[in-house]
Amino acid sequence: MSAVDQIYDDVIMDHIKNVRNFGKLEGSTQTTEGINPLCGDSLHVHLRVGAGKLGAAAFECSCCGISMASASLMTEAVSGRSLKEAADICVRTLGLLRGQASAEPPEGASLGELALLSTVRKFASRVNCASLPWVTLSAGLEGRESASL
């Protein structure tokens, strides 16, 4: 196992065992449901948006560990950001997951641990699992109530 694979495993397991921002978000202004019809994962992303800023993000899911870890990483990465920054991080992360972009973060943002999600590309069947929270967040930032892969 390479050093990057080990770090990936450690980060993912940490976010599964110690999930962040799981549950309903008090004072949320937007809730979006995401569904992965291929595996049956479902996820709700709760956002608190105001004054052009994403004050907080949380999620609830009936999903696999990869979706859960990705959602946990996502909520940490975008909470407190401007809506533009959150959208840019979302686009870049989806690009990483889908092999469409390099690991370079968007201007003004740092992907940090999120770049490790690109390792999931080695497991094609898991890309949709890791992408579900991000697709759902993107829909939520656009004010939509639902998203599907």
Q: What pTM, to 2 d.p., does this model score?
A: 0.85
**Domain ranges across the chain:** 3-142
The count of C-alpha atoms lying within 13 angstroms of the C-alpha of 124, restricted to the half-sphere facing its C-beta, is 0
- 3-state DSSP assignment of residue 90: helix
What burial letters (b/e) apply to 15-34, b meaning 16+ CB within 10 Å?
A: beeebbbeeebeebebbbbb
* Whether pLDDT at 103 is above 90: no
Domain 3-142 -> CATH class: alpha beta
Query: 32 vs 61, 102, 109, CA distance in Å?
Result: 12, 28, 24
pLDDT value of residue 13: 76
Query: 148 vs 18, 71, 122, 127, 137, CA distance in Å?
Result: 26, 15, 22, 14, 11
Mind listing the pLDDT tens digit for each residue in 8-62? 567 777 877 889 999 999 999 999 999 999 889 999 999 999 999 999 999 999 9
Residue type, 14: D
